[in-house]
Every structure is written in structure tokens, then in C-alpha cells.
Structure 1
């Protein structure tokens, strides 16, 4: 992998997994955005992944849809006991309110939790980020059509 994502993308990926917004198929996955307005297509490559999310497409690092798929596949080992902390977080809204200052958005996300839980969350995210940083995978953008209709659950 040529470029690591901001650590904030791990938080977003954990929320996608916690909310069960990842739909796995044989050769690809569909990942729904945190505000449920977009679907992203993650294609499985022999040596990695491609995705049509903006981070992967334009910044050339694995966006949260790829990271969420890697967690589901067990390529990134997460602690399932931590997942409830990441449920129902609208990262799109948090990032917009923070003017895309990811550190500020993470701080807002962490505020309601006790210091003990905050530390556990930060440790879990750092663990996943460390796993990712030691991997050799190919990450590419793809031009799969992106669904932008409002979705209801």
C-alpha cells in the first residue's frame, strides 16, 4: 500500500461494521454511508481492493469502505466487544460540523464516553491502524456507479 489513510477512517469503518452497513458478495461488497445516502462498491482484487469512495478514488488510500470489508473478512482483527460503541454514528454529519477536521470529529464522538471507554476505543482503533500499516495490499479506485438515492432501513 502506497499511502495510509487518516486514522479517522478506522473509526468510520468500525461504525459501518457495527451498523451492519456492509453487504458481502462473492466478488465485491456494497458499503452504505453513515448517513445512508450513498452506497460504495468495493471490488476484491487478487492482491487487494478497489473502491469508488472519494478517499480511495482521489486520495489513493483505502477509504473506510475497504477497511470495513477487511474487518468483516478478518484481515483486520477487531474486538467485537468494542463494536457497540461505534453504532449509529453519522460520520458525514460529524465531519461536516468539524469542517472535515477529523481529529475534532473524533473528539466529539469520544465526548460522551468515560475516560476508560475512550482509552479502550483509541486503543482498538490504533491496533487496527497498526495492523493495516504492516500490510502489503494493492488499493485502487474504481468507477462503479455510486447510488445516491436516500435509503430507508
Structure 2
């Protein structure tokens, strides 16, 4: 069985922010943790890249069966997915959960809001969005297997 493809590139942005904020770290050879944007939840990721299989206990993985941002963060950090790491400097400290709630779960509207704010600061958002699209395209080409049984989602804020 495989994880469903993410429906749009908002997961890429959240993964990039997790890396930029240093909220993603490896705990053992085949395990990692990813802290939520509110820092209220800690997601556990198990992986076997030799079989391209991942398990994560985040809501998107558990309830929707979709490739989630902790999984994408793992693939970025492990360099399975390539991108220009310079864009990370602009994706720090973005309160995704707050923005997503304000936009009533319209995740791409949240991405556009963040990009508009960055553009107001003079950031080259075209380059950032091009990189996110490139990453998203790479994710769509992968068949990411489900590693083991689904884990209950993390609790917290």
C-alpha cells in the first residue's frame, strides 16, 4: 500500500518551514521527530528509504492517508528531494496553523497569503514558489509505501 499524493503544494511549504525552524530532527537511524508549528505536538516518523516506506503519526497521514508535511520534510532533509536551500531563510516562523484556521482550511489560500506578505518585504516569491512546485512535482513521481500499521495521531495543540 502507498500513501496518497498530496492534493496541492501547501504540504511542501509546511515541510520547508519545519526545516527552516529546525523543528525536524533525527532521533535514531530510522526515526525522526517533527514538531508542529504551534510546538504543541510532536510527530514521530519511522522510515526505510531502501524501500521508500514511511510512517508518521500526524493527522493528514492517519485520517486522510496522504503524504504529509513531516514525510516531505524527511525526504527533503535526506536529499531524496532536491531544492535550493536558500529559500529556507524566508520560510521561518510562519504560524501555519493560525493562518490555515483564518482561511478556514483553504491551504492554498494560506500559501498565497504568506507569499503576499513575503513579497511586500521584497522577497523573490516567484523563486520560492518555483522551488515549491519543483519539490511538489518530485513528490508526485514517488510511490511512498506505508511502513507498518498506522499510528494514532499526536495529541496536543
| Common fold by TM > 0.5 | yes
What stretches of structure 1 of length at least 5 have no aligned partner? none
Give 1:136 shift: 2.1
The residue aligned with 2:140 is 133
SS at match of 1:132: helix
Rate the CA distance shift 1:144–1:3 in 2: closer, same or farther, 3 A: closer
Conserved? CA contact 1:62–1:139, under 8 Å: no
Conserved? CA contact 2:62–2:152, under 8 Å: no
Conserved? CA contact 1:40–1:147, under 8 Å: no
- Give a deviation string over 1:64-101, Cα, whole Å, max 9, x none: 00101111100111211110111001111110111000
Moved more, 98-107 or 45-54: 45-54
Distance, in Å, in 2 between the alignment partners of 1:34 and 1:43 is: 20
Distance, in Å, in 2 between the alignment partners of 1:139 and 1:87 is: 29
Calculate the aligned-residue CA RMSD, in Å: 1.9
1:36 aligns with 2:39: yes
Distance, in Å, in 2 between the alignment partners of 1:26 and 1:58 is: 27
Rate the CA distance shift 1:145–1:62 in 2: closer, same or farther, 3 A: closer
1:121 aligns with 2:128: yes
What stretches of structure 2 of length at least 5 have no aligned partner? none
The residue aligned with 1:87 is 92
Give 1:130 shift: 0.7
The residue aligned with 2:4 is 3
Conserved? CA contact 1:28–1:42, under 8 Å: yes
Corresponding residue pairs, total: 149
Moved more, 13-22 or 137-146: 137-146
- TM-score if structure 1 supplies the norm length? 0.89
